[in-house]
Structure 1
């Protein structure tokens, strides 16, 4: 009588197929004792019979309708009851090395086989349940067995901070919270040749966003996408939980632009300054009406000199509406920067832009931002069904009470786009270290810049640029 042999092993740690080779050897010996001729070997190495994955060898064996099957044990052939029914449909005997013959052609034999298969499936499901529970317990207790993430490294059996990577993350977090774009931060990281989290040689906004959103940066442990616990208090953290909530709220805000970014702004006042050319009309109060057009940066014009040579004029700001007001860019930028930074460096600047202790004001603002982030995240969790209405109510009541206390400590805060450290004697040094995104946001928050007309060919006149502080 002809037969086929089927062998399978769930996990081949060496990749050498030694387990299935031993099964085949013993199955051949059994077939020889039974006087059967082996016509084919079907094998599935390193494939579980309970995972639901397709077993190519098993499927091929069923398709050929074998006259008899020899296996090492029934659980090597199948472990799910649905697979047993497919074998029963073949109406052929199954011989096993360690469990005898399964006569699937009789009701009694099928009943025995179904019982064995049911218990095998139960055992597999129980094992999976225990494994999941163990994984959750390890995650909740902060035990980390996998590869450590960016910002951390292994030191023997301990996980510690990797100083350079942690500093890179903290700097990026601070810049995002100050309103800077991910695109600008990636550009600077590439210029600094900062190592990336993956194998890529360059930073990109997707990689940076995913990195900054990792709960593990704040010592939170995650299992299957859900935060299940927090590492012990003495465990290393790149950022604290409040900062994590704030950065999460900023980067997941639906109003944040997610479309592919265009070019980063390069010019300080392009699109911010306005044209002050009088139109010749009067408003209702009898005041002259100004053009009000947006001033944009334009490349320098070419002019022909008396000797016939061409000379390019320096870049300028020009009105996009009337095109009749034009001013050289560099002296305008320098003037506006000087006025703003000079005011921010004055002794009364702290009292002008904030009240009370500047550090306390900053702490209160940070607390409000963190509480708002937690409120927003709680609403998102309710919307996705992660928490119910009662849980949402308890969370929001507590957070709103905390927010009232924080707001009471914050009578007047610095405008949101202005970094707190920019107010004081070190304003110039701080300014020089800011990106163009943040500089523009600061100016747009603090002042209104109007460029007035001036005769052509004249030296730059500071009075032709009007800088008004916003209330």
Structure 2
């Protein structure tokens, strides 16, 4: 009597990419092919590994099932203890497209003798140096083809960008499905949000307003801080476009205007760009100003600083915190944090009285600046230098392209000019931001402040425009003393 053929347990691996899906194929099709191959070879598939829509060619992309496959092969069994003696795939390029991944797979498979491997064409002996070399060669060829496709895609994106043509994908929020005409209701929210950012309103406040009004994304989801920030920071709002993180410009360095309808002006977008580009940590520092990510509950949180001298001479300088104190007039106290929290704990002052004094001082300063702004020259002083350098850079490039100057002369000079041009453009952006902010500080700032037209975030932004900080000096002598404004030292911005 003949003995039954031994069961050879193998696993199936399938990977579907976006292009495979467009061709009408799916993971199930690949597993069916693998099953037919296994049956033909009298192997038994004991587990299916699947990485759906994950590229095998891109660095940094983690394929969870591929990693689990390599781990199982190295161990010789699945997590539940089921033995594994081989792998079956549709084709090598479904398994790996990077040489490092292929080598890890071969090392894991050949960790023990007698392991099996097959694709739709039949079994392959990966213990053979020739077969392994051919596999690596195939990976290299596949990688070259992927890079060709990526280069073609990049060239196509660049060409479309230079022509001002929208790219594929879903419509952006604010535009119709053709990506050219505006969606009036969505565009109005974008314009309002953009101008509120310029006016100093925090993203958190804008986000809360959008959620309360029921504004939804194009996927009918609630807005999140990151998605809102990206929407308001998108140069598409003013008709421009970025490619690989840089604005698409013409030969003269001027941003190319797209064919879609804009929501705001280029100057307004440059102001937003200056605000968001400078954001680091909990605050925003741009052109010497600071805007809050989240609006604190009190007007001068983070602006007041402790002025009590330390034992070795310098003042404490810790930011004062606000604490509710029902026993005080106004109901809250600004005080220095304890030593454990980074302060000295030695300064505390009535919050409502400090707010009242600082508000009056700031409004007076802003009104004074508004009067000066009406007569100020709003031209950016670096325009002539930028135009001269840009023209010089073009001439240098043309001379280099025509072999009139050497590489050794061209690259160092061009690098210096590029750095200066970048510096000037950043300065121009800061100038635009300051002009936009100055437009907000009009002569009626006091009326807008007292009538409730400005929320807390906008008031704090205006205070930041006028002040670096306010140093709160200690009262001294112990006990409660009358409020003394002379113990508040404003550090004004010039």
Q: Does 1:102 align with 2:124?
A: yes
- Which protein is bigger by CA-based radius of gyration? 1
Alignment of 1:23-172 (within 5 A): 23-28=34-39, 30-31=40-41, 37-46=42-51, 50-51=56-57, 53=63, 54-55=65-66, 56-57=68-69, 59-60=71-72, 63-64=76-77, 80=99, 81-82=102-103, 83-92=105-114, 94=116, 96=118, 99=121, 101-103=123-125, 110-140=128-158, 141-142=160-161, 143-155=166-178, 158-172=179-193
Return the offset for 1:120. 2.0
- Aligned residues of 2:91 and 2:120 also touching (Cα < 8 A): yes
Q: Is the 8 A contact 1:73 1:97 kept in 2?
A: yes
Q: Tell me if 1:182 matches 2:193.
A: no
User: Equivalents in 2 of 1:193, 1:86: separation in Å?
Assistant: 53
Aligned partner of 2:231 in structure 1 is 211
Mapped to 2, the partners of 1:421 and 1:338 lie a distance apart of 10
TM-score by length of 2: 0.52
Distance 1:431 1:390, change over 3 A: farther
Unpaired segments of 5 or more residues in structure 1?
32-36, 272-295, 303-312, 372-387, 448-469
Does the C-alpha gap of structure 1 residues 190 and 367 become closer, same or farther in structure 2, counting only changes over 3 Å? farther
Residue 419 of structure 1: SS of its match in structure 2?
Answer: helix
Contact 1:178 1:419 (C-alpha < 8 Å) held by counterparts: no
Residue from 244, 248, 253 that aligns with 2:278: 253
CA distance in 2, matches of 1:196, 1:68: 47
Aligned-residue CA RMSD in angstroms?
5.9
Deviation, 1:67, is 6.6
Note if contact 2:370-2:441 (Cα within 8 Å) is conserved in structure 1.
no
| 1:21 alignment partner in structure 2 | 32
CA contact (8 A) 1:5 1:71 kept: no
Q: Distance in 2 between matches of 1:73 and 1:145?
A: 30
Counterpart for residue 376 of structure 1: none
Q: Does structure 1 conserve the Cα–Cα contact (< 8 Å) formed by 2:176 and 2:183?
A: yes
**What does residue range 65-464 of structure 1 map to in structure 2 within 5 Å?**
80=99, 81-82=102-103, 83-92=105-114, 94=116, 96=118, 99=121, 101-103=123-125, 110-140=128-158, 141-142=160-161, 143-155=166-178, 158-190=179-211, 192-195=213-216, 201=222, 204=225, 206-218=226-238, 219-223=240-244, 232-253=257-278, 257-258=282-283, 261=294, 263-265=296-298, 353-355=373-375, 361=377, 364=379, 393-395=416-418, 397-398=420-421, 418-419=438-439, 422-423=442-443, 433-438=453-458
Aligned pairs, number: 366
Structure 2 unaligned residues grouped into runs of 5+: 78-82, 250-254, 284-291, 305-321, 336-346, 387-410, 468-492
Contact 1:213 1:244 in 2 (8 A): yes
Query: Is residue 169–residue 212 contact of structure 1 (8 Å, CA) maintained in 2?
Result: yes
